[in-house]
């Protein structure tokens, strides 16, 4: 076993610990680690990330359901348009993105670069949300027609399908603002959507990619162990401080990815 693979498994444990400690967001580390640490192509990395995110979220659903913090009816209603978008984006959109999007002089924007730049932009948005860490007591919920929810699900599903992340930071506010759920129940319910979307989206990749099942199952299993361990340790640490610190880490990583992909630093 190479040193890179060993480091990858250690990284999987760290991702799980973050997910268990913070309650979300750790999956956004998966793609950069697979790309920059283990050398995977961004298309493969986003596919593997979907499997890791999906299997991890299933564990989270069980944990939240035991506390009565999952609204399955709302989660399933929201997940329908989302998983359609995730599957279609992974099955048809990603494979058909041109290898070179455009060239200006000696500079060419490749498919892999574009995926990582888009991913970094989403990381940046997620990090600012974590750093601000605003209280949600002033949020006003507005019930909306289902067709609006359907459109929102399609948009969020397409974004998460492209970047291979769970998208919980997008689903949670949507469930609070438009489904009228409390913040805690929105977090638990979002895991249902993320699990369904990610695993169904991954089936689209199974038809276009050769999957290294042994590595992927071990990586996902170690992540789940990390989640369980992080969940236990979360009783002894401040969640707010952890989330803010993790937000700064994600912000720095997004800046690193942008500088690397755009300026080749």
Say which DSSP state 33 is in: I
Look at the chain and report how many structural domains it folds into.
1
Determine phi and psi for 182, rounding to 5 degrees: -70, 160
pLDDT, residue 239, reads 64
What residue has token string 């574009």?
114
Q: What is the pTM of this model?
A: 0.80
Rounded to whole angstroms, how far apart are CA atoms 163 and 152? Answer: 17
Residues 6+ apart with CB under 8 A from 257: 32, 116, 117, 119, 120, 123
4 class by beta-carbon count within 10 Å (0-12 exposed, 13-18 middle, 19+ buried): exposed
Mean pLDDT, range 94-110, rounded to an integer: 87
In order of 105, 166, 239, the CA distances from 207 in angstroms are 36, 21, 40
197-208 CB burial, b ≥16 within 10 A, e <16: bbbbbbebbeee
**Local confidence band at 143 (pLDDT 50, 70, 90 cut-offs):** low
With contact defined as beta carbons under 8 Å apart, do 84 and 199 qualify?
Answer: no
CB 94 within 8 A of CB 202: no
DSSP state of 140: P
pLDDT digits (tens, 9 = 90+) for 231-245: 788 777 766 777 778
What rounded mean pLDDT belongs to the chain? 82
Q: Kindly indicate the confidence band of residue 144, based on its pLDDT and cuts at 50, 70 and 90.
A: low
Mean pLDDT of 260-265: 78
Condensed to tens digits (0 to 9), the pLDDT of residues 176-205 reads 777 778 877 888 888 888 888 888 889 888
For position 137, what pLDDT does the model report? 45
Tens digits of per-residue pLDDT, 6-26? 888 998 898 888 777 766 666
Q: Return the percentage of the chain with pLDDT > 70, whole number.
A: 90
Cβ(61)–Cβ(195) under 8 Å?
yes
* Chain position carrying tokens 């990390």: 226
Domain of 148? Answer: 3-263
Helices (H), 110-182: 111-132, 146-163, 168-179
């Amino acid at each position: 076993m190479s040193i890179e693979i060993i480091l990858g498994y250690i990284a999987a444990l760290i991702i799980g610990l973050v997910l268990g400690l913070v309650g979300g967001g750790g999956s956004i580390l998966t793609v950069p680690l697979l790309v920059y640490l283990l050398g995977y192509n961004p298309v493969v990395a986003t596919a593997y990330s979907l499997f890791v995110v999906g299997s991890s979220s299933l564990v989270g659903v069980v944990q939240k359901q035991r506390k009565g913090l999952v609204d399955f009816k709302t989660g399933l209603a929201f997940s329908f348009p989302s998983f359609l978008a995730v599957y279609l984006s992974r099955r048809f959109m990603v494979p058909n993105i041109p290898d070179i999007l455009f060239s200006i002089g000696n500079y060419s924007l490749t498919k892999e670069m574009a995926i990582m730049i888009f991913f970094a932009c989403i990381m940046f948005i997620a990090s600012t949300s974590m750093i601000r860490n605003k209280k949600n007591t002033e949020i006003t919920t507005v019930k909306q027609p289902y067709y609006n929810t359907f459109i929102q699900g399609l948009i969020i599903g397409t974004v998460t399908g492209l970047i291979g992340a769970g998208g919980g930071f997008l689903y949670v506010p949507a469930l609070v603002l438009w489904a009228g759920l409390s913040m805690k129940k929105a977090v638990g319910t979002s895991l249902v959507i993320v699990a369904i979307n990610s695993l169904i989206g991954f089936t689209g990749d199974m038809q276009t990619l050769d999957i290294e099942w042994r590595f992927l199952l071990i990586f996902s299993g170690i992540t789940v162990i990390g989640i369980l361990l992080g969940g236990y340790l979360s009783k002894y640490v401040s969640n707010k401080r952890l989330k803010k610190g993790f937000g700064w880490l994600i912000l720095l990583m997004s800046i690193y990815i942008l500088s690397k992909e755009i300026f080749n630093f």
